[in-house]
Chain A
Amino acid sequence: MLEARALTLEVPGRRLCQGLDVRFQAGEMWGILGANGAGKTTLLHALAGLRRPEGGAVHLDGEPVLDLPARQRARRLSVLLQDEAEGFWGTALDWVRLGRFPHGRGLTGGGEDEPIVRAALERVGVAHLAQRTMATLSGGERQRVRLAMVLAQQADALLLDEPLQHLDLRSQLALLRLFAGEARRAGRLVIMVLHDVYWVSRYCDRALLVFGDGRVLHGPTGEMLQREPVEALYGCPLLPVEAAGGRLFLPVEGAP
């Protein structure tokens, strides 16, 4: 449903990827991995139609994503951005209601949108925070509210930039299960930028590795998360350990 064709992305002085071809299918869970500054967020923004690529194009259901009317795009594709709730004056409920904006007259606080908004807050376990202003929430609480907005948008593709940041272990697990349900039961496409290789190995069907020097690898998670590519990705020696249905990569002491 989402497809990068010959995608080339550059930031000043550096090429992040060149001629990248990837097809993201409905029902798949993708994990994007890479070191800090490798270009994961830039890639996600390009996929979401928020950034014009230096070459190639991104197509959503066969149409160039940049050519779609903005609201129509936002009805089909929702994005979780990193830390964008700063300086918002409203409550958690107000924030989640924003997710109904692409669907038209959805911010009126009533009508058919309100149950969707309430259900989204419920699903990520923050219904009790609805009337709190965003500024008074803790980092983890705010992150859940931000995720609730993405769910309230009811798009078929979820592009999530570090969805697990600020979350405790139990919440990480709960939300990954929720996303997996979105992909497997609701047939949505879920693409997540993550820093935890273990979660990718356990929950994602496919992995995309961004090396930051122009190289990008992608494929089935089992093939991608081998010792050599992951060591090259993070630039440090790692020891793979199979555990609890996934693969951990433990840093090895003493090596360069």
Chain B
Amino acid sequence: MQRPVPLILLLLGLALLAGLAGLLGGSVPLAPVDVLHALLQPDGGTAAQILWTLRLPRVAAAFACGALLALSGVLLQVLMRNPLAEPYVLGIAGGAALAALGALLMGFALAGVQLAAFLGALCATGAVFVLAGAGSWNLFRLLLTGVVLSAGFGAGVSLLLALAPPTDGRGMLFWLMGDLGYATMPALAWGALALILVLTGSLAHALDVLSAGELQARALGVAVRPLQLTLFFTASLATAVAVAQAGPVGFVGLIVPHALRLAGLTAHRWLLPAAALAGGGFLTFADLAARTLAAPQQLPVGVFTALIGVPLLLWLLARRP
């Protein structure tokens, strides 16, 4: 990559644009002037209420979750040295979904369901870690363990959905496709995002070396196993936080790192911040589409990330020989 800075600035501009559009658009469109007024001088009017209690938290959560998923994708693709690795490959989404669904059916409130999703994601991470050999794994075994556990969790989810009363099932189906309608804690996601960006930013060079292969990285002086464990748990944390807020939104963690690499960003000190910006902007934009296209009905955002992501990825792949 010759000039990563213009691309990063472009992504920053697009992310800001997506955020602004997310604040303006919705079932009740707001004028830019009203948004500016409500942001600078909250006066308790309708516009200010919509903005501060609904739009701003949701846009903030969408951006942070998208950024977390994209970062998780980058980290797992380096860890697995497999371009098809994505945030859910280690069974994290399955664990979160099963736990969240269980909590919902047991009658927990929203916060309880989100906590269950987070704990479910961490339990799935722990299970994969232990079953794959507690750190003495080879990557193939780690990947297979994740895939097998995912399948198991998927069966559990289907079973619960089949047994659940039909009224509970519909909202849950939306959440399973990814839905930011329940995202209420953007501060938590932003905190996780900042933490993970700082941590992985300091590891950027080691990640470059690791992407050249495990043995090569050792030959060049990287402490490979500690780095792999860091990647494993960091990516899991990022995914768990995002899934607890937004449900298992698909495609962000797969397509964003791919698109950026195909655009020529391969050095991780550029790829990581770029992935955060692009992932955040992408999910914010997709969420805007989900909120407005069939307003007042809200559609699951995962449908839109797939609808945008699939053709984009196919186009990018077709462009390169």
Contacts and interface: CB of A to CB of B under 8 A. Distances in A.
Nearest to A102: B221
A235 to B, nearest CB: 29
B216 A70 contact: no
Interface stretch (A81-89, A189-197, A236-244): A81-89
Nearest to B257: A89
Interface in B219-262: 219-223, 261
Contacts of A109: 267
Nearest to A150: B219
B226 to A, nearest CB: 11
B169 interface: no
B221 A74 contact: yes
B266 A70 contact: no
A90 interface: yes
A50 B212 CA distance: 16
Interface size class of A (residues with CB under 8 A): 20 to 34
A101 B203 CA distance: 12
Nearest to B81: A87
Q: Which of A75, A81, A95 has the most CB of B within 10 A?
A: A81
B37 interface: no
Given A81-B216, A84-B213, A101-B205, A91 B266 contact: yes
A73 interface: yes
Interface string A48-70: 10100000000000000000011
B215 A85 contact: no
A127 to B, nearest CB: 16
Interface residues of B, number: 24
Contacts of A78: 219
Contacts of B1: 91
A101 B222 contact: yes
Contacts, number: 77
Contact of A90 (B82, B267, B269): B267
B211 A48 contact: no
Given A84-B215, A87-B213, A99 B220 contact: yes
A3 interface: no
B212 A70 contact: no
A108 B82 CA distance: 25
B209 interface: yes
A88 B211 contact: yes
B141 interface: no
Contacts of A91: 1, 266
A102 B220 CA distance: 6
A143 to B, nearest CB: 14
Given A50-B219, A102-B220, A94 B209 contact: no
Interface string A126-150: 0000010000000000000000000
A74 B220 contact: yes
Nearest to A97: B208
Contacts of B219: 48, 50, 74, 78-79, 81
A101 B221 contact: yes
Interface string B261-295: 10000110100000000000000000000000000
Contact of B215 (A50, A94, A95): A50
Given A94-B267, A98-B209, A98-B212, 11 more contacts: A48-B219, A50-B215, A73-B221, A84-B216, A85-B213, A88-B212, A88-B213, A90-B267, A98-B208, A107-B205, A153-B220
Interface of A: 48, 50, 69-75, 78-79, 81, 84-91, 94-95, 97-99, 101-102, 105-109, 131, 153
Closest 7 CB pairs of A and B: A74-B221, A71-B221, A90-B266, A70-B221, A84-B213, A84-B216, A79-B219
24 contacts: A70-B218, A72-B221, A74-B220, A74-B221, A75-B221, A79-B219, A81-B216, A84-B213, A84-B215, A84-B216, A85-B213, A87-B82, A88-B213, A90-B208, A91-B1, A94-B266, A101-B220, A102-B221, A105-B205, A106-B205, A107-B267, A107-B269, A108-B269, A153-B220
